[in-house]
Structure 1
């Protein structure tokens, strides 16, 4: 892996960051200010601990990622850390406001006015020696900067807070929170000297960051994926968005791109966007890993037209991406035949096939896409659910198939099957593995057990409602002593969740028999409307009868979960 070219990595304080005429810019399209009272409270409590304990103690604020400007060694773009830096600057504004109130009350007026000027120049805005104009040390994004500069830095209350955007309301509420919190520190607000000491010694010098300076967006993205820090404020998705938006020249194109981006992220959700993007890029690229997403996009998208083409494609696939994880999605309203197969993808948690399904939906006929969905479900059930083989091998193969469909080398589901034949578990192995299949009937696996029993039952009669029956454990989960006549302790533990020990049963019959003896259960089973259950007629329920039943179910399962393109093989008893 290529070494990340870091310009500087060091421990630094808020005071060191903000001093010496440095200017920090939030990229125009980076997300708005979003911290809430919970975040402010956590930070304030940490500061109070510093204020009341050992003066030499410090508090670690996490990593801050900065991109150095090529134009000036004192200008930086904030890649990650804007929420923390903006909040600390608001805290400085709150301290300066308290000193202003002392000035308004003529308390040490001249001294406090001088303190106010020094603190303002040190932490908020500095005067350029050439133009003699004040320039803000932190420049927020396009939605927050005007309010930050006009209202917060100038201590000007908004005329109507409800008319502000949500993020600007949060900026003002943050200021009010810290202003109110300072009032409760009686030892601090008693005078300008104490207030200045609190800001310069506690806040500025004892809140510590790991400062990481990077040369460009690609290094920043790599740092992000390497850090993967809990609570990271800027996501790799934001970084990608900022790059794409930087390619648009005119305001009209930019506004359209912003609208399109919002539609995409509203559909797939920000937290799932990297996953979605990875599947999309896998239509044309091999071995796409999360840490390579930004590099692939940067190398292939280098102007506004290409950026729009990418956004168009992402928007085109976004609804399908969500629908593949939800069989009840409106997307399938006109394609109801796909719902049961999408339901299987949900249940089996199939994700490796998404790139193949993306491109097949666009290029296959509706009938062939349905056949492909069925194939994917069957393959996964055999390979992953029953035979428990490594799913990582599937991802590589599906990636190759997706590229072949995209380039036109594969045009139908039969050709897909031929490409995936190596991971299609043979009838012999599948039957053998199913004969030993054991699944817990608790938690998430319970839905899978219901699915398997309903498919086995439907093979014997009409369609079955998965939620309409109770899962009956023939050998009970909490067996009475008489069950130990036929089962050892280890067999009781190992066999209770074997598929051969499970059967569908009407809820009222299930309650009637409880954990009773097998002879009582067997008579009740004959009252059931489920063929799987009525067929349980053995004289005794033993490890041998359980194993025999499961072997019979395995033969049935072999033809239920079979690809339409696989040759039929006769399995001997």
Structure 2
């Protein structure tokens, strides 16, 4: 039965949706209206194609509605508010065009009747007390007043610039479609043709897949099933709406809204699902994206629990952003952490975030720094050099995060003991490093600079600035024929980006040697301040020479990227 409820689907049109006294509500805290001219133009071109081809139809995508528990005529719009709002605005623009005909006394009585019928069909009936029209579509708390007062009642706002951005977009959408209609000269001269354009083309031949769900959990599952563009945003909105529904008093609700805005402004909407998953991984095992909403529903059931969750999320939000930005002010008081954070950025490591979340709360500053170093070493060995399966990382870091949260793991050494299975052995690391090849083009270039910088600092015992040198390819990327007496085409392709073929060199020396033959390069290398480069003293540069050098660098790498706790 649950599956039937989840996938209660049908094909429907805008006209079918909006007729028969049905009311559609956008959740009060759903995102504001955000469509812009690009979206309006795409929709209008689709409508024009239908207008010129009367036998055609156009698919508008899925529309997710939540049924009301009290009325079979009321629905909450979970996904599709932008499309429904825009189609309603087109209906308003058509009705305004008919009003223009009435004002010009063209078939005034007939057009008044048409106008009234269209209003009742696509907008709503008139209130007998205020004589104002209210919509069958109710927008969110930021847009609904403007939509009802100005658009539904065809009242031009006094000061458009004073409107919020989303309300300006609503008004601009009306103006856009009103002007588009003006170009359909064969339509706007007749109230009958305007009515036909709305009822037959817009209302009947723009089709939706209507998906009805019974509760928020099913709605969330639908988002995951559809895998639509923008799913993260919609899923985040759904989570927000559920939390806000738990607050009863206006003061609590306003405070929750303020707190939510601070969190989302910090982590950014598109990152929120990942952020929430890392937070939940402090207590839950194997939290998948598709289970986020279910976990929240099971653990947060009242206003106090919702506030507790928001407090925790706000507490971790700054750390979440700082883990991806070594220049963040968060590290001002712990500057030693910045180098390790840069490495995590470079390695694109996020599986460790739950462990780092937990440790930042529970460990001393010194131990948190030691843990950052450990995570960098583990990541470099496991991911960068040995290219092992990242799935195991997430599971293990999740378990360690829970253990730290529960007080079972209290030090970096204990973390290492729990992660020992992903610490690549010295033997394997050395073997893999001996074969390591990384392109020096694009984003990978930063990784090569980092590796050469660490190798040089170890050889010279001097800190090296990663931006101070050029990456010299001993065997050039585009070698001259002189090089081909030692390297064939296959070897050139295989060996040009091997770490053993790369070395730091001053930019001016790098420009001097260019694609020169090896003896000229080797003589120039002796002028360099970089010890790694000075040590290139082989008489010839051949595949065997390159492999031997990389083997020597691998031995150096073993103790550079070594855990403090592996002995």
Q: TM-score range by the shorter chain?
A: over 0.9
Query: Residue 133 of structure 2 contacts residue 153 of structure 2 at CA under 8 Å; is this kept in 1?
Result: no
Give 1:263 deviation, angstroms.
0.3
CA distance in 2, matches of 1:355, 1:232: 23
Structure 1 partner of 2:48: 48
What secondary structure does 2:20 align onto? coil
Query: Residue 80 of structure 1 contacts residue 233 of structure 1 at CA under 8 Å; is this kept in 2?
Result: no
Structure 2 partner of 1:387: 386
CA distance in 2, matches of 1:433, 1:556: 13
What secondary structure does 1:49 align onto? helix
CA distance in 1, matches of 2:230, 2:86: 15
| Per-residue CA distance 1:331-382 (angstroms, 9 max, x = gap) | 1111100000000000000000000000100110000000000000000000
Query: Residue 81 of structure 1 contacts residue 233 of structure 1 at CA under 8 Å; is this kept in 2?
Result: no
CA distance in 1, matches of 2:57, 2:240: 35
CA distance in 1, matches of 2:541, 2:133: 88
Structure 2 partner of 1:29: 29
CA distance in 2, matches of 1:36, 1:349: 34
Query: Residue 352 of structure 1 contacts residue 398 of structure 1 at CA under 8 Å; is this kept in 2?
Result: yes
Give 1:233 deviation, angstroms.
9.8
Structure 2 partner of 1:513: 513
CA distance in 1, matches of 2:7, 2:490: 61
TM-score in terms of structure 1 length: 0.97
Structure 2 partner of 1:311: 310
Query: Residue 4 of structure 1 contacts residue 222 of structure 1 at CA under 8 Å; is this kept in 2?
Result: no
Please identify runs of 4+ aligned residues in structure 1 that moved more than 4 A: 131-135, 231-234
Give 1:6 deviation, angstroms.
2.5
What secondary structure does 1:136 align onto? coil
Structure 1 partner of 2:376: 377
Structure 2: segments with no counterpart, 5+ residues: none
Structure 2 partner of 1:571: none
| Per-residue CA distance 1:22-46 (angstroms, 9 max, x = gap) | 1100111111111111111111111
Structure 2 partner of 1:276: 275
Query: Residue 80 of structure 1 contacts residue 234 of structure 1 at CA under 8 Å; is this kept in 2?
Result: no
CA distance in 2, matches of 1:148, 1:137: 11
What secondary structure does 1:478 align onto? coil
Correspondence list, 1:18-417, <5 A: 18-53=18-53, 55-126=54-125, 136-230=135-229, 235-417=234-416
TM-score in terms of structure 2 length: 0.98
CA distance in 2, matches of 1:231, 1:363: 36
RMSD value, Cα: 1.6
Query: Residue 124 of structure 2 contacts residue 136 of structure 2 at CA under 8 Å; is this kept in 1?
Result: yes
Give 1:135 deviation, angstroms.
5.0
Q: Does 1:527 align with 2:500?
A: no
CA distance in 1, matches of 2:97, 2:232: 30
CA distance in 2, matches of 1:133, 1:560: 76
What secondary structure does 1:126 align onto? coil
What secondary structure does 1:10 align onto? strand
CA distance in 1, matches of 2:149, 2:478: 70
Between stretches 499-508 and 484-493, larger displacement belongs to 484-493
Structure 2 partner of 1:420: 419
What secondary structure does 1:446 align onto? helix
Q: May I ask how many residue pairs the two structures share in their alignment?
A: 565
Structure 2 partner of 1:438: 437
Query: Residue 123 of structure 2 contacts residue 136 of structure 2 at CA under 8 Å; is this kept in 1?
Result: yes
What secondary structure does 1:5 align onto? helix
Query: Residue 37 of structure 1 contacts residue 174 of structure 1 at CA under 8 Å; is this kept in 2?
Result: yes
